Copies of this chain bind each other. A is one copy, B any other.
Amino acid sequence: MRGKLRPKRRSGCPVSISLERLGDRWSLLIVRDLMVRGYRTFKEFQESGEGVASNILADRLRKLEAAGIVEAEVEESDARKINYRLTEKGIDLAPVVFELLIWGVRHENTGAPCGMIEEMANHREEVLAEVRKRWEARDTTPFLPPFAKRGR
């Protein structure tokens, strides 16, 4: 599975290549869960409220791992559990997730408090530094909550 020739690369544009990895409904949500919600296990992702099917979730975790964005490791205290964690390549997606967050809050009817997110947007560098710091420290306390449904 390593030295495979890729199915086809559409273009050399970095945006396009990034979207080859992340351009679907679920991949960046898993990254978000790992990055700001402190989720680690299959079950937590499944129950994150977005409603991923288990086969799709398994497939995305496999692909994210193959792409070097997440790592999997069996928990030593409980061999049933597999802890997923972002790699450095994965945590480097923080700005992407952050900008999607800001855009969503500004332009869509979301369940998140605009004021608080705008405040975060005004301290972009600090927020991103804090997210990375927590990643380095393996600190899994949630940075953002799962926002409730709102609107329709």
Contact = CB atoms under 8 A, between A and B. Distances in A.
Contact of A108 (B17, B97, B117): B17
B6 A152 contact: yes
Interface residues of A, number: 57
A12 interface: yes
A29 B19 contact: yes
A17 B108 CA distance: 7
Interface stretch (A70-78, A87-95, A129-137): A87-95
A104 B24 contact: no
Interface string A104-146: 1111111110000100000000000000000000000000001
Q: Tell me how many chains of this kind the complex includes.
A: 2
Contacts of A55: none
Contacts of A44: none
Which of A18, A24, A25, A95: most chain B CB closer than 10 A? Answer: A18
Contacts of A151: 9
B108 A11 contact: no
Contacts of A12: 110-112, 147-150
Contacts of A24: 23-25
A11 B49 contact: yes
Interface in A60-104: 68, 89, 92-93, 95-104
Interface of A: 5-6, 9-26, 28-29, 32, 48-51, 68, 89, 92-93, 95-112, 117, 146-152
